[in-house]
Chain A
């Protein structure tokens, strides 16, 4: 029964994730209150799930990675709620909502579910996953290319070597806008890809999926990306630093990609 509560909590936390994605794009805070309410409701279900698992098993639910992930997510959620109550820092939500959602999602995969009800659904799911990954990588690559241009243009302007009229690089502000729009788009798709990927791996591999290094690396890339988005939005990071980060995230993504092909072919032998 506890896993049902945990999944309910995960779904409610997903409202927070949705809010975070909308905020990243449009800086729209009107949805903050509903997201916060859903998030609060999520923590209640989360608590119920943890308590039930505790009473069922007779010990604190910290026996494996799934349980620790779930409890840790719960603690982060509680701290965020407390922090928000005292200091009204809403901006943390952009980082906390997705993080708590993913940790809870991982926690909710402790017990295997029935395999795919039909191969068609499995294929569609896999296609959606691969498509979102590729769209995410494409936009991320675009952001990284714009970042390289940004770094070049910035360096020229700083060295005072720009030849107005002869210079063919786009204006700095335009590059900055391209970087932020494509980075946000990329983030949405990579996040969707992460969700579909985790669910797919969970259904496919059962509870073993978490031990798969390529998935672990994928999650790490996503966390890196989340950190970058958060720094840009909350700390106002722009320009050189964000450009280098974008190039870094692209590098991680390439490694993730490489591990997928490398490992898959390795396993087929």
Chain B
């Protein structure tokens, strides 16, 4: 059994590709089951704005590059050929390291942003609900969550306020100067837009309007920020009043079309509008960028701008990388110990069977035994068997743990020798 991970993220694939592959959370169960049908022993899917990644436990025959087959079954608009250049595939130690880095927010667009941990937890819960998490992924993911916690508490990675939302606020200042009295519309109340709203409020904005398909969620968020709720049906009519629009809706299709924005700008007498699209798939028609007074930034644009501010954070990230290296080593050792576990179990079973057989054979010749004698005999035979087993078992564990990181996990020669010696299956 080996751990394999295939995926693409904001570094390897542009938003045009990511938005075609991104899975809604209601699509994931079907894909997980599809993967099981294709032969994966265990599987987990992490799909966020910035990445689509599949982690799986595979047996030796199944190739890792077939991991995306089940996703592509669901997506007729894109082929494996189209995504192959953007795809990365890791196995074993590399897969574990990548997953740890993702969990610890070292691989995030905004290094250190905390949302990814929640997204990973959610992916884990979802896979567990579908029954596609077994002992291997269970060990890997729970360790990944532990690593994330360690990184957060032992380094300062989450401290400085550099984020996509922050970049959005800075850009708003480039356009409007002061944010005071600027009206902000949030379409789609989610974690990302919540972050943006928080930053804008801190930046001096006061009037926040929220619209969401589920009215309750909008009310909830409005309560958080003292904002006003606009009915989802009527936000297009009120667009002209808004200076800044942030979209992070899961709605299919564009929530803002070019025509809507063109008309709004006309009504606003050509005062500028700042449109921030943090959704993947994108919520705002990219052609709106051609309108003179509309300034449209999608998540990739914001990333480019934040990249340079992230240098300082990268240094902190080095400490975090050290934690990852340490933890990967530990988990790998443990997983390899687990690899020899079947051999250990069958060795123990084999010796136990020999013991039982011998006892049964000689019981008759010993005549009637007292309970004490019976117990002594049991202890004697058990002791001999355990003594014999101890050497091979501890040596097998040691050898497994010693195997170097990154080396292909092959059944160690020593294990093979033990199996032969004791005639194990």
Contact = CB atoms under 8 A, between A and B. Distances in A.
B272 A172 contact: yes
Interface string A148-169: 0000010001101011111101
A238 interface: yes
Contacts of B175: 157, 171-173
Given A162-B305, A163-B305, A164-B174, A157 B295 contact: yes
A152 B34 CA distance: 53
B25 interface: no
Interface string B269-303: 11110000000000000000100110101000100
B292 A239 contact: yes
A225 B173 CA distance: 31
Residue of A162, A164, A166, A172 ringed by the most chain B CB atoms within 10 A: A164
B72 interface: no
B258 to A, nearest CB: 15
A171 B173 contact: yes
A160 B292 contact: no
Contacts of B289: 158
B174 A160 contact: no
A166 B171 CA distance: 12
Interface in A141-192: 153, 157-158, 160, 162-167, 169-174
B386 interface: no
Nearest to B293: A239
Given A164-B167, A165-B309, A239-B293, A157 B304 contact: no
A237 interface: yes
B308 interface: yes
Contacts of B173: 164, 171
Nearest to A174: B177
A58 interface: no
Interface string B244-282: 000000000000000000000010011110000000000
A170 B293 CA distance: 17
A131 to B, nearest CB: 33
A152 to B, nearest CB: 12
A238 B177 contact: no
B171 A164 contact: yes
B176 interface: yes
B265 to A, nearest CB: 10
Interface in A89-106: none
B352 interface: no
Contacts of B270: 236-239
Contacts of B301: 160
A115 to B, nearest CB: 49
A240 interface: yes
B82 to A, nearest CB: 25
Residue of A157, A166, A167, A174 ringed by the most chain B CB atoms within 10 A: A157
Contacts of A239: 270, 272, 292-293
A167 B174 contact: yes
Contacts of A238: 269-271, 293
A163 B177 contact: no
Nearest to A160: B301
Nearest to B175: A172
Nearest to B309: A165
B65 interface: no
Contacts of B293: 238-239
Contacts of A158: 289, 295
A236 to B, nearest CB: 4
B174 A171 contact: yes
A173 B243 CA distance: 11
B305 A171 contact: no
Contacts of B321: none
Contacts of B266: 236
B241 interface: no
Contact of B177 (A160, A173, A240): A173
A251 to B, nearest CB: 22
Contacts of A167: 174
A98 B171 CA distance: 41
26 contacts: A153-B174, A157-B171, A157-B174, A160-B297, A160-B301, A160-B305, A162-B174, A163-B305, A163-B308, A164-B171, A164-B174, A164-B305, A171-B174, A171-B176, A172-B174, A172-B175, A172-B272, A173-B177, A173-B272, A174-B177, A236-B266, A236-B270, A237-B270, A238-B269, A239-B293, A240-B292
Given A163-B308, A164-B170, 6 more contacts: A153-B174, A158-B295, A160-B301, A171-B176, A172-B272, A236-B266
Q: 9 nearest interchain CB pairs? A: A164-B170, A171-B177, A236-B269, A238-B270, A160-B301, A174-B177, A172-B175, A173-B176, A173-B177
